[in-house]
Amino acid sequence: MSTEVRVPQLPESVADATLVTWHKKVGDAVARDENLADLETDKVVLEVPAPAAGVLKSLDKAAGSTVTSGELLAVIEAGAAAAPSAKPGSKPEAKKDQQTAKTTGAKEAPPPAARVAPQAKEQPPGKLSPAARRMVEENSLSAGDIAGSGRDGRISKSDVSQHLESGAAPARPAAGRAERRVPMTRLRARIAERLVEAQSTAALLTTFNEVDMQALLALRARYKDAFEKRHGVRLGFMSFFARACIEALRRYPVVNASVEGADIVYHDYYDIGMAVSTDRGLVVPVLRDADQMDFAAIEKAVAGFAERARGGSLSIEELTGGTFSITNGGVFGSLLSTPILNAPQSAILGMHRIQDRPVAVDGAVVVRPMMYVALTYDHRIIDGREAVQFLVAVKESIEDPARLLLQV
């Protein structure tokens, strides 16, 4: 009995997906619910589980294909036996090799020079003459791409010369001049599209300030062990900055607003996007109703986002919406930057590296752990006064964390 494997129902906002890779090949045994392939959409990677156990009979779509919901991907034959695969070093193969060696005799033995060649793994001994081997190494060629005219496919110098003259394999490029062409992933292409859209549709402007992190660092050092023991999650900085931004958004609601046509849409809720960097690109999962979450809930959510983002298991719902975003370039060592807002949001806060710097405090020069913070905003609806005051409010909350508890 055959079972069809089809593209699962894609989210409503996703039209199609790219078949990134197959984890099985034709003839392989598969178990029910085993992941057969990965599908990449504009935002997430979806797994294709096997609907039944059996043997993979056919693959109807190649890796790199664009697919839509319900398309046929593969066929599984239930109850069939998997194709046998010979194990390396098994006794039958060993006997076969010994028998071959006896019948062919010493005439077929490779020359000593070939056995000690530095690229013996890539250029099998016995297939290249010494002169041909030298040409292959000097031109960075692969022996597997060259047709040999000698006995048993042996490659001669003339075979290599003809291969070079045909233009099938270019000579080694000059040092430092090599290049590779790799197509963008769907996620990277979508990121590029949204960033260009934000640059071309919004009037972006960035304002900066600096925050003295000494009080927050002291508070964190004092309570981080007790916090982790009680809540099972580390106490980081994101929860403090998220709470500080929420308090500032309450004071300056236009920073939490968005533009729709000729209207300004004010949001009376606080869905905070947290930028997370992955190998595939930057994603921004959203903390829903973040104003209703305590510090532990925010830290757990952020840790969960990071883990699932790197594993490609975030859902579409977790990546859509949001009224304001926070990004932290400081984890990569960035001292200062101008973040680009996540449209249709109208503002984004950029955190940066904490660095000891001399600053003036009460008329004296002291060394303090300082962080530059940046607010990029849409100047169409947010004036400079509101942007600066928002950033000052965030600064005050971080420099005096008690304000977050008292909401002053």
CB 203 within 8 A of CB 378: yes
Give the Cβ contact number of residue 261 at 10 Å: 6
The DSSP 8-state label assigned to residue 144 in this structure reads G
CB 87 within 8 A of CB 81: no
Nearest to 44 by CA among 284, 275, 272, 274: 284
- Is position 379 annotated as part of the catalytic site? yes
In whole angstroms, what is the distance from residue 126 CA to residue 132 CA?
Answer: 11
In whole angstroms, what is the distance from residue 206 CA to residue 3 CA?
Answer: 56
Q: 210: buried, middle or exposed (CB in 10 Å: 19+, 13-18, 0-12)?
A: middle
In whole angstroms, what is the distance from residue 300 CA to residue 375 CA?
Answer: 25
Residues 60, 267, 379, 400: which is the catalytic one? Answer: 379
DSSP of 260-300: ETTEEE--SS--EEE-EEETTEEE--EETTGGG--HHHHHH
- Is position 42 annotated as part of the catalytic site? no
Residues 33, 225, 356, 383: which is the catalytic one? Answer: 383
DSSP of 372-396: EEEEEEETTT--HHHHHHHHHHHHH
- Report the half-sphere exposure of 167 (CA within 13 A, side-chain side): 0
In whole angstroms, what is the distance from residue 139 CA to residue 117 CA?
Answer: 16
Q: What SS3 class is residue 67?
A: strand
Q: Name 199's Cβ contacts closer than 8 Å, sequence gap at least 6.
A: 340
Q: What SS3 class is residue 248?
A: helix
Q: Which of the residues are catalytic?
A: 379, 383
